[in-house]
Amino acid sequence: MQAQNTASQTRAHWEQAKKPFVISFEDDKNFNEPLSLGVYAQLNDATQEECTALGGVVFVKKGREYSCADRNASTTDTTALIYACFPYHKGLTAQDTLQMKAPFVDQLFATESNRSFTSVTNVRMKMQSSMAKLRIKMESDDVRDRLNSLQISGDEIYTEGVYKPYSGQWISKVMNGGINADSKEILLNNGRNHDFYLIPTDVKGVVNFFARINERNYAVKATLPPLVAGSLTQLILRKGKDGLTITSSWVESKRPLLEPQPKNAVDTVKVGYYLQKEGYVSKQPDSNSIALIIETEGKHGKAIALNDAVGNYCFSKKPMTSKQLFTTVDGKRKEGVLNPRKEDGVEEENAIIYKPKMPYSERCALGYQQGEVLTHKLLTSSSSINDITTQAHTEINLPRKSMLEETLKHPGSYVPSLAEMTKFYYSLHPFKDRPLMALGLQEPRGEYLTSTEQSSSSFYMIDFDHGIIAGGLSKQYAKLQLRLFYLF
């Protein structure tokens, strides 16, 4: 009886000594907290109860710490070695391996840095990535260029490997072809990052970049430094008249972990949806929304910036022309007032009747709705295109800013034509039953630039307050407001 009582008291003390088991991380701001972690404890001399509680379990974030999600993970002041990994792999121990193939995702593992015993058993850990990250950004002078596919291959680009998730070790690695980017059939120049998670390397190697653009093949290669685990290597590839070139590259030894990836919804896009940064689409506006979609064929289309570009801009700082000139607005008048009311007192010879479906010829300013073509022609006709590009990317603020500089700062954007801005004006006014109304869309006020030229030295503007269209404005000296359009 005494032995039984002693055993009962021992079990009671044991239960009282058991504490919840939690994990916290150093530099938790350096990674976007994963939804779940795999946790494994090396319990050589533990009880079966401890093995069950801490053997390959799922931990999720609760408050500032991670705790067990699927069972009662509690123990005494254990000295067991603790391992953690992301993503969670059911049934794996610290010694088990996985056969992995490209495309890879970020693989994280944690090492213990400190342990404390208070009301809980708290193991402090440091999360690390066992993958190197290669980031490619594509650019082009032509906003219409479409990226069909992107692939990388090279001397040190491995497509398969044997991996130990809880220790972050690559046991072996194999090269077998190339690795394709997830994104395809998108606009080349939308600012999207093409990220590749790669098996780390110890030596530098040649990497080949193969891009199919507008159904034509392009290639360029570069020698990259060792792809170190946890690092980020970034390159900008630009498609120009000389083909595909690498314009810049740099390496960051430490990067954020598990960066969130926005979901691409272009297959279900509708007019009234919102264009996000990097060419993604959402049904409702949020902090990443940049434009309102006004045209779509189901996958691609056009959008209007939600806000004006900050400040006033001139058409160009130096003489330039696309050589596509429109001497009249509607085939008759050089300027006038859009759809004036009788009480406005506008004479008939100054009135311009406009509806989006009116069959204006593309040879007149109100019939040509391809501002992206005009913008591209202006960029490629400019002898100072390199200067414009440099100023746009370095954001040099000069006394007089040109609309082309601002366009180059916003991937996928262009300066709309007069016809596009006129259609926008029409949609905002009660010329139809339902004028354009959208959350977050700033209503244009005042005089705006267009990419439609009247002559080699003048262009057309539109006044949104009064519906006035006027030509003859100086390209180099007239400073007006700018509302960008986007392709997606």
Residue labelled with tokens 């929304």: 289
Helix, strand or coil, per DSSP, at residue 347: coil
Please give the DSSP secondary-structure letter assigned to residue 54: H
- The per-residue pLDDT for 52 is 64
- The per-residue pLDDT for 59 is 84
Distance CA 238, CA 217 (A): 14
- The per-residue pLDDT for 14 is 45
In the chain the domains, ranked by start, together with CATH numbers, are 2-96+105-128 (2.60.40), 132-252 (2.60.40.2630), 307-487 (no CATH)
Distance CA 194, CA 374 (A): 28
Query: Tens-digit pLDDT profile for the chain (488 aa)?
Result: 766 665 555 454 444 556 777 888 887 666 665 668 888 877 665 566 666 666 677 888 877 788 887 666 655 556 678 889 999 888 888 899 999 999 999 999 998 888 887 778 888 999 999 999 999 999 998 999 999 999 999 999 999 999 999 999 999 999 999 999 988 889 999 989 999 999 999 999 999 999 999 999 999 999 999 999 999 999 999 998 889 999 999 999 999 888 876 655 556 789 999 999 988 999 989 999 999 999 998 889 999 999 999 999 999 988 899 999 999 999 999 999 999 988 778 888 889 999 998 999 999 999 999 999 999 999 988 644 555 555 545 444 556 799 999 999 999 999 999 999 999 999 988 655 556 678 899 999 999 999 999 999 999 999 999 999 999 999 999 999 999 999 99
Beta strand 274-276 with 281-282 is antiparallel
| Dihedral (CA of 134, 236, 293, 299) sign | negative
Q: Which residues pair with 281 in a beta bridge?
A: 275
State the Cα torsion 212-213-218-222 to the nearest 10°. -90
pTM: 0.83
